[in-house]
Chains A and B, each alone.
Chain A
Amino acid sequence: MIRFEQVSKRYPGDIAALSDLTLAIESGEMVILSGHSGAGKSTLLKLIPAIERPTQGAVVVNGQNVSALKRAAVPFLRRNLGMIFQDQKLLHDRNVFENVMLPLTIAGVPPRDAGRRVRAALDKVGLLEREKAMPIALSGGEQQRLSIARAVVARPSILIADEPTAHLDDDTARDIVAVFRSFNQVGVTVLVATHHEALFAPCMTRRVTLSHGRLAP
């Protein structure tokens, strides 16, 4: 489903973020990506939606080489991916409902269907009764759940999350882990970068560790 084939990524100034990385993630897997700060976790995740392009090698998602994708094709790749960002990237001038609606508006889903799907997504993360709230009025855990609802509302087959439990207390973080697990149980491929790998231990998932841009043994 996702394959990294001898991928290297260098940033200007000759900083190597990833070196000769080869990795395959199968459909329906839940993979925890761990490693020290600066090990290349975020870079690896950014290569999948073509936010970054590899300097060498190929990144293949659903049989499509995204590293060679034309600019105009990138939006359609991203619509099939659910992304949760380290800084959440919520729109603070829109309420909970409107934030989750955005991916469906972009995809051109008719408003009536879209409204139903937004409520279904909010229900899954337990935010249904807060649909009119502004993001600023939500707690840290609720904000994270909101960003998960936005990531899954378009029913992507792949869910990518970068440090989704950062800045959350342990109980709240465990809630978030459970939400990811429930999506994985219904067949969604989940890839989570975290340095809280212990929190995900109960999920009995595959763990991939990065060290200085390479797979650690």
Chain B
Amino acid sequence: MENGFLLEQKTLEGDLNSDTSHKSSVDFLMNWFRKRSIFVLAYGTGCGAIEMPPTFTSRYDAERLGIRGAATPRQADVIIVSGYCSYKTLRRIIRTYEQMSNPKYILALGSCTVNGGMYWDSYNTIKKLEDYLPVDMYVNGCMPRPESILEGFIALQKEIGEGKASSWQKYEENYEFYRKNQEAVLGEKVEPSYAADWYLYDGGL
């Protein structure tokens, strides 16, 4: 009988290997590769970023599921929007997301990304992330513990394995809808100035 770590691993991965809905063996193989090597952009956007280090380090060790960090947006598959998302942050998230290469997924943490959370009446925090960017998986909680984040990842992996997670296609198809919503809160100029511009020329510190 398994117990401890092995039992946890088995419970987590339980139905991950049992997906049968693939169209062909090539599809199956592609999806299997994708779901088992998820590179997560090392980018924290809110208070929820504090739960990410324990998720990826020895205690919860996400790498046993094939989930690990990536240094730059161009190498990453998943961006975690961890917590409340102010207008200023949203600009940076949009730029980062558009820099990532396909296939790309968004995992949104915390109640703030779901409905505003405790910032529901704040003048510079958006309330529904999916109006501005396509979200694959919400993990609720304030803040979600690393266990919940891992479960969110497993659910995302399952969707990827079945070929259902296709938010980046949704973003390309409905780009006008997203762009309209982005412009409604951020103004005409959605993309931020580069940090160097801001620091050296745009008034600076």
Asked if A pairs with B, the answer is no
